[in-house]
Structure formats: structure tokens, C-alpha cells
């Protein structure tokens, strides 16, 4: 079944410095401009994984936005639900140190933040036939509520995006079948943002209690990332830890990080693609983790090596 993604569409500028980035001085770096935004990254990755996918959001009217639309269509993403507006297109600027870690980032998301209820409805034909809708929390809360209601009986997946935006999902949490978040975003969504410094995990705190609390609050299942630690999968049946494995099921070495951009989005896309390919949820999350690892080892938000055979379990 096709998948419909709703959320941020950005023009990303990604800088990879050849030395550690310092404040108050310039740093030599290689810059690249690519498509970005959570929903956009997920849609692009889904297309590479053999899924039919449509993308909804809003772009400006610049020539660069025209080029972005053509790029997305060329990758197999249905762009018929993308609206245009007389506002600057969303932009994201990320600065990466030589080890691939993120030194700093800024985003101009006014074009998405100002989307009003009704802006992305009624659904297009591609969205109507989609069996799964994916929402990212870059969208304003009233629009998230409206889309969750319009999703009706479809599988609804959502990404918390950031600590600042996670709480936008609170009103629709009982409608979300599959929630993606990290430990800090989970705390923010539960209204516990000040519980720990910066929402970080304390020694001895695995995050299991917070993931379980999200299920108790209504989420059908929660996929919680914890940095380099195994991903937590919380369902009404309990908690599982899912580690990175090879397609044969053996433990896989930690990825060699080139660029952290889009790794979480690849986890989402790989998981949703796994479900569309008929995998059980835990196996789909494992496929998503392999997609994330490929992305960490590649420049940009969507790895050129990403495809379904590369992440599907053998057999």
C-alpha cells in the first residue's frame, strides 16, 4: 500500500568542515545543498526502498524550490500535494565537524510553522489510497489534529522531531499507531521536560519507563532512540531492546559516522517500509536500524546505497 508523508520540506545546506568548528572565526569546509526536512527525508528514503510515497507540505516560489520539486519527482516521490506560497522556502543549515558530528545547526521553518488548518486538505488521490500516513511535528498542532482525524482507519505514524516540538503530538497521541522519538522528546511529550537536565538520560535510567508511559498514554507503539544504545520498542506487550544487526541477524559493528543528518529519518523510513513489506514490527525496526546505519556512513540525509535488498532480513 502507498504511504503519505506530511511535514517539513526544506532546502538543506550541509557543511563538512576539515577541522573542528570554532566560534567567532571561519572554518574551511565543503558545502552541499540538498533536499531536507523530516517528512521529505522520510519520503525520499521510502521511494528508494521501493514504496509508493506522496509528500505534502509547503514550498516558496523561488527557482530553487522549482528545482527541488523536480528533484523529488525524479526520485519517485509524488509531489502533487505540495502547496506553494509567497514565503521563503524552509531552509536548514548544519555545520559538521570532521568526525561527522553536528557542531551547530539553524533552521528557518516559517513557511511550515504558519500552515493553517485546511492547508493540506482535502487529500489528493495518492493520499486517499495510502494505507499509512506519516506526520512530523514540524507541523502546527491544529493541523496535526486535523490530519490525525482525516487519517481515519489508516495506520498513523508520527515523529516528535525535537524537544521543542514534541508536545504538539500530545492531543493526537491516542490516535498514533507508531511514534518515533528520542528520550528527551519523550519526556517533553509527557510534560516532564524539566525532570532531568536537558531531558537527558540519568545513570541507571534506560528510558523504558518513559517509553512505557507513552504507550499507557495512548500510543500504539513507541520506537525510542538512545544514541549509540539499542533502540527501545515499547508496545502494550512490553519492552524490547533492538540492537543493530546484519541482515543475517548477527551483531553488526557500529557504523563509521560520516554525517548524522537524516539517520533518524532513515530509521523511520526503514521501519515503515518493513511494515509495508510484511515484516513484524520488531523486524521492521531492525531493518530501519540498518537503514539508519547506512545513512550515518554516507554524506547527506538519504544514502545513495539505500535500497530494500540492503536492509531486508535474509529469507
CA dihedral 70, 74, 76, 81 (to 10 degrees): 10
Q: What is the pLDDT of residue 191?
A: 93
CA–CA dist 144, 3 (Å, integer): 17
CA–CA dist 232, 225 (Å, integer): 7
Beta bridge partners of 4: 54, 133
Of 77, 75, 79, 33, give the one whose Cα is nearest residue 59.
79
pTM of the model: 0.93
Q: What is the pLDDT of residue 101?
A: 87
Cell of 195: 525532570
The segments of the chain whose pLDDT lies below 70 read: 194-205, 315
Taking a C-beta distance cutoff of 8 angstroms, is the pair 15, 33 a contact? no
Backbone angles phi, psi at 116, to 5 degrees: -100, 160
CA–CA dist 45, 264 (Å, integer): 11
Beta bridge partners of 81: 56
Amino acid at each position: 500500500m502507498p504511504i503519505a508523508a506530511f511535514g517539513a520540506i526544506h532546502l538543506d545546506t550541509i557543511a563538512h568542515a576539515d577541522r573542528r568548528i570554532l566560534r567567532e572565526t571561519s572554518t574551511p569546509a565543503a558545502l552541499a545543498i540538498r533536499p531536507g526536512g523530516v517528512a521529505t527525508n522520510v519520503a525520499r528514503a521510502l521511494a528508494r526502498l521501493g514504496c509508493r510515497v506522496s509528500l505534502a507540505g509547503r514550498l516558496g516560489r523561488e527557482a530553487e524550490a522549482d528545482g527541488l520539486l523536480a528533484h523529488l519527482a525524479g526520485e519517485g516521490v509524488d509531489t502533487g500535494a505540495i502547496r506553494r506560497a509567497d514565503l521563503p522556502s524552509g531552509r536548514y543549515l548544519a555545520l559538521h565537524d570532521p568526525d561527522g558530528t553536528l557542531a551547530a545547526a539553524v533552521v528557518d521553518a516559517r513557511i511550515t510553522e504558519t500552515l493553517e488548518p485546511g492547508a493540506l486538505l482535502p487529500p489528493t488521490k495518492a493520499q486517499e489510497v495510502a494505507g499509512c500516513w506519516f506526520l512530523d511535528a514540524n507541523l502546527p498542532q491544529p493541523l496535526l489534529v486535523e490530519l490525525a482525524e482525516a487519517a481515519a482507519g489508516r495506520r498513523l505514524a508520527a515523529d516528535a522531531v525535537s524537544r521543542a516540538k514534541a508536545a504538539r503530538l500530545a492531543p493526537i497521541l491516542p490516535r498514533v499507531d507508531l511514534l518515533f522519538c528520542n528520550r528527551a522528546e519523550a519526556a517533553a511529550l509527557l510534560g516532564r521536560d524539566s525532570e532531568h537536565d536537558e531531558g537527558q538520560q540519568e545513570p541507571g535510567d534506560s528510558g523504558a519507563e518513559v517509553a512505557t508511559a507513552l504507550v499507557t498514554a495512548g500510543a500504539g507503539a513507541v520506537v525510542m532512540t538512545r544514541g549509540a544504545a539499542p533502540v527501545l520498542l515499547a508496545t502494550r506487550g512490553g519492552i524490547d531492546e533492538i540492537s543493530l544487526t546484519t541482515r543475517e541477524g548477527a551483531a553488526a559493528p557500529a557504523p563509521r559516522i560520516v554525517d548524522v543528518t537524516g539517520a533518524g529519518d532513515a530509521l523511520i523510513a526503514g521501519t515503515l517500509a518493513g511494515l509495508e513489506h510484511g515484516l513484524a514490527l520488531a523486524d521492521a525496526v531492525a531493518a530501519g536500524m540498518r537503514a539508519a546505519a547506512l545513512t550515518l556512513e554516507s554524506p547527506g540525509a538519504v544514502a545513495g546505497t539505500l535500497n530494500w535488498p540492503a536492509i531486508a532480513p535474509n529469507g
